[in-house]
Amino acid sequence: MNNKLNLDKLDLQIIQHMMEDAEISYADLGKKLFVSGGTIHVRIKKLQKDGIVKGTKLNADLKLLGYDVIAFIGIYLKESSLYDSVAKELYKLKEVVRLNYTTGNYSMFAEIICKDISELRTVLHEKLQKIKGIERTETLISLDESFSRNVRVLE
């Protein structure tokens, strides 16, 4: 049992199954876990209220939608105290899909998704470099995503 979050085995099982298949009905999940669909519903609502479950996401094939370039941008800040203001500006860019505050060489690490190299160039030259507080960037272009997965909350 996880005392910090007050989660029991059933909560963790629900989370694990929902991460594997967010479309499973509460009734079907209840059958798998030997509880009622109503129990699953109540548990999910509590997990949402506690901020543990933050909704569901559609996993679309971005290449089929015309997004051919995934890039990772290491961002050097002029001063680390500028993180919050730079993060707010990066949030405004639709191409930035993930941002992390990091240790190591970069102050920030961003994932950017673009339709093509031309769009990436525009993002780098006309958008990122205009944000006050960014000293410089390093860009890594993904050639292929071998896999992507959720963490297993149950062993």
| Closest to 154 in 3D by CA, of 3, 7, 5 | 7
Tell me: pLDDT of 1 over 70.
Answer: no
Q: Is residue 155 part of a domain?
A: no
Tell me: pLDDT of 49 over 50.
Answer: yes
Strand partners, 134: 77
Q: Is residue 32 part of a domain?
A: yes
Q: Is residue 56 part of a domain?
A: no
Question: Considering the entire predicted model, what is its pTM?
Answer: 0.80
- Looking at the fold, whether 73 and 136 belong to one and the same domain comes out as yes
Give the least confident one: 6-20, 48-62, 65-79, 137-151.
48-62
Residue 4 — pLDDT band, cuts 50, 70, 90? Answer: low
Tell me: pLDDT of 148 over 70.
Answer: yes
Q: Is residue 4 part of a domain?
A: no
- Looking at the fold, whether 85 and 135 belong to one and the same domain comes out as yes
- Looking at the fold, whether 136 and 87 belong to one and the same domain comes out as yes
Alpha helices in the chain (DSSP H): 9-20, 26-33, 37-49, 83-91, 117-122
Query: Tell me, what CATH number does 32's domain have?
Result: 1.10.10.10
Host domain of residue 114: 69-141
Query: Tell me, what CATH number does 121's domain have?
Result: 3.30.70.920
Q: How far apart are the first and last CA of the chain?
A: 13
Looking at the 3D structure of the chain, how many domains does it have? 2
Q: Is residue 24 part of a domain?
A: yes
- Looking at the fold, whether 74 and 121 belong to one and the same domain comes out as yes
- Looking at the fold, whether 42 and 75 belong to one and the same domain comes out as no
Q: Is residue 153 part of a domain?
A: no
Q: What single string gives the DSSP state of each residue in 63-90?
A: TTTT--EEEEEEEEES-GGGHHHHHHHH
